[in-house]
Structure 1
């Protein structure tokens, strides 16, 4: 990639294109890492929501509500949770509380290690301060146009 453009030229670049290109490249990279473990993003998000749950687990509705804003998956999480139960990675009791199984914990740990490497690859050569500044700029742009973004 050519980074030789002067700052004035870069300042006139279309944010829509660059934010889309960054999204495509990074999400594709993360999805490829998850695929190595037989996962897509929605089940990965569910596994992460259950990782720190105590023995009581978490109510299905709570997990779905928490993840509703992730890339607009909404109710599409219900079949993903069912599939995790079907794969014996998650259990669900009569009160709809979800818990990771031993296999679910193991898969989540393996995938987390790989996703961590993918994140490090994405962030190579980018100082935390630069990353934070970029996120603040994107958040401000979203706010400026009345958009909605959510992530924790």
Structure 2
């Protein structure tokens, strides 16, 4: 009978069961299954916690870059229209410029006056006397002109 108990304590299953119940590392230096599952779950939750802020950061960066690209395209169209854009204006087409700075709109009025009838400006961003974007003191949002549309 004594020999039977020694065999039982020497069996790999019982040593592993003891290691699991005490949550210690087995002699091999490997983590128990329970610890591995806890770590995987913990890492999964940590990864999920980071997902949303990272997506927001990348989205904001890409939106800002896209907005800059659109602004550049509109400024090019406003001051250096292509032949096809000029032809469309000659046919009476109107182009709506959105979100340009008020100083760019004023420049267009001065330099492109002959084309003004084919332009419409909405959501024009107001600037201060230095040319920087005017911002609402409470919200920090860029101030735009209210054209009543």
More helix by share: 1
Query: So what's the TM-score if we normalise by structure 2?
Result: 0.27
Query: So what's the TM-score if we normalise by structure 1?
Result: 0.27
- Tell me which structure has the larger Cα radius of gyration: 2
Q: Higher RCO, 1 or 2 (CA under 8 Å, sep at least 6)?
A: 1
